[in-house]
Amino acid sequence: MASSTRASRIGSVAKHWLGRLVRTPTAAIGASLLLFLIVVAALGDQIAPHDPFIIVGPPLSAPDGTFLMGTDDLGRDLFSGVVLGTRTSLVIAGGVGTLVMLIGTTIGLAAGYWGGIADDILMRLTELFQVIPRFFLAIVIIALFGAGLDRLIIVLGLTSWTTLARIVRAQTLSLREREFVEAARSIGASEPRIVQHEILPNVMPAALAMLALVMGQVLLLEASLGFLGLGDPNTISWGYLAGQAQRFLRVAWWLSVFPGLALIAAVLAFNLLADGLNDLLARRSD
């Protein structure tokens, strides 16, 4: 009974926020664009006409009816590369986002709710990770252990949670003395239960807004590493495609334009979604 009541409550809260999100123009555009990219990533094998690593046409062929985005210097289909690169980019963003949410939310809740020595220790730890240069650390890890999506996700995830932790901590500090939290204490609710059922649902909107921004930044970092040739050579990505295009900028404009547009669309989707969530939070606080 308790689990069904909890699921019903979570469902009603999610439905409430989803309804408000759809009515916010920037959030609706960002969510629609992100949904489109997710569909492309999920159906990439059906949408892409060719294997992006296989030669299928003449080298450096301009976009036409046969090759919608042209071919590269080896004659590989760029459209297939862009479509399947969507999956790689979203997998990296989703993997890093999951780690960031787990680590940042846990540390922010613990520091904000219990305070004292725990707050001091966790905030010093946060500051330590905050000064680590993510981009150069990723380069070092790739140089030492080789390229791989798993290593990239772990490195970026372990170094990208700091801002979210600070946001969650600030929200928790403002919530822990509210009337509904005091009411839960007065009826004998345990501390973990108060954090899980009273604090966490109220910090999630701000955490998700920051998470969307972090995921947009992660896409840019991954593309930068791929552009430098530090991505996984066995996996197609937008950064890899842009890196391969740099030698042909004057003779084959399409090699850099289409991967760049795909990257812009993905980052824009996350940023618009974050802006929409911030607008909702601003209205809620008015």
**pLDDT per position as a tens digit, 210-235:** 898 899 888 888 888 888 777 777 88
Q: Residue 18 has what pLDDT?
A: 60
Asked whether the beta carbons of 162 and 126 are under 8 A apart, the reply is yes
pLDDT tens for 113-132 read 888 898 899 999 998 888 88
pTM value is: 0.84
Is the pLDDT reported for residue 191 higher than 60?
A: yes
Pair 222, 92: CB distance under 8 Å: yes
Higher pLDDT pick, 178 / 50: 50
Is the distance from CB of 67 to CB of 77 less than 8 angstroms? yes
Query: Which domains are seen in the chain, by residue range?
Result: 25-59+67-285 (1.10.3720.10)
Rounded Cα distance, 202 and 175, in Å:
8
CB atoms within 10 A of CB 33: 17
pLDDT at 2: 47
Query: Quick one: average pLDDT of 231-256?
Result: 86
Mean confidence (pLDDT) of the chain:
84
Per-residue confidence (pLDDT) for residue 98, from 0 to 100: 93
Q: Is the pLDDT of residue 240 over 90?
A: no
Q: What is the pLDDT of residue 42?
A: 92
Give percent above pLDDT 70 in the chain: 90
The answer on pLDDT for 171 being more than 50 is yes
Average pLDDT over residues 32-50: 91
pLDDT band at 263 (very low <50, low <70, confident <90, very high): very high
pLDDT of the residue at 39 = 94
Percent of the chain with pLDDT over 90: 29
In order, the DSSP letters of 85-153 are HHHHHHHHHHHHHHHHHHHHHHHHHHHHHH-HHHHHHHHHHHHHHHTS-HHHHHHHHHHHH---HHHHH
Residue 17 pLDDT > 80: no
72-81 per-position pLDDT tens digit: 988 999 999 9
Q: Is the pLDDT of residue 197 over 90?
A: no
| Residues 255, 241 contacting (CB under 8 angstroms) | yes
CA distance 170 to 79: 45
- CA gap 240, 258 in Å, rounded: 12
